[in-house]
Amino acid sequence: MSNKENTLNSNEIRVLIDTSFLLPTLRIDTDKEVLEAIKYFKAIKVFYLEISLMEAMWSIIKKVPSEKMDLINDGILAIRETYNLISPPASAYISAWKMYKSVHKDFIDNLLYATSRELKLLLLTVDRALIDKLAKNKYPTDNIIEPAELAKILKFRNKNI
């Protein structure tokens, strides 16, 4: 049974989000697709990695003036109060390193993927290049969902959203 099928059969949908889904809370513009998906977060259990906050800070450093850092601080606090922080297992770091050497040159993406596999979480992403590279290199993608698929899963489960 795939991760997606397990999710449909479990009581709780557990989703690890990629960095894109942290950006709106940090006042960084992102795709409409990301914003649409966030409205479904109240019906799922959302997880994030601390390294995703660090990755988001690289965008903030480039785009946000210092006089707006209070808003960024509020966003970080909101993320920490709303979402669930998890740590990648050691084996996820090793898997991510192997992926970096052979599949995809974004270590953070690889770590998110490997962590979601190891901890049996769905990975919510809009990174189609990652999905394509994984599939091309015969890595399982049954743990990955895109925003439209999240909406379908929740509608299938008749969640009030």
| Interval 140-151: pLDDT, tens | 999 999 999 999
Taking the C-alpha atoms of 141, 144, 146 and 149 in order, what is their torsion angle to the nearest 10 degrees? 90
Q: Predicted confidence band at 159 (pLDDT cuts at 50, 70, 90)?
A: very low
User: Which of 31, 40, 36 has its CA nearest to residue 13?
Assistant: 40
**How far apart (Å, rounded) are the C-alpha atoms in residues 51 and 19?**
9
Delimit the domains of the chain by residue range. Answer: 3-156
CATH of domain 3-156: 3.40.50.1010
Q: What is the pTM of this model?
A: 0.92
Please give the mean pLDDT across all residues of the chain: 93
Q: Predicted confidence band at 110 (pLDDT cuts at 50, 70, 90)?
A: very high
User: Which of 62, 59, 72 has its CA nearest to residue 26?
Assistant: 72
pLDDT for position 1: 63
44 forms beta bridges with none
**How far apart (Å, rounded) are the C-alpha atoms in residues 76 and 29?**
16
Q: Is 70 helix (H, G, I), strand (E, B) or coil?
A: helix
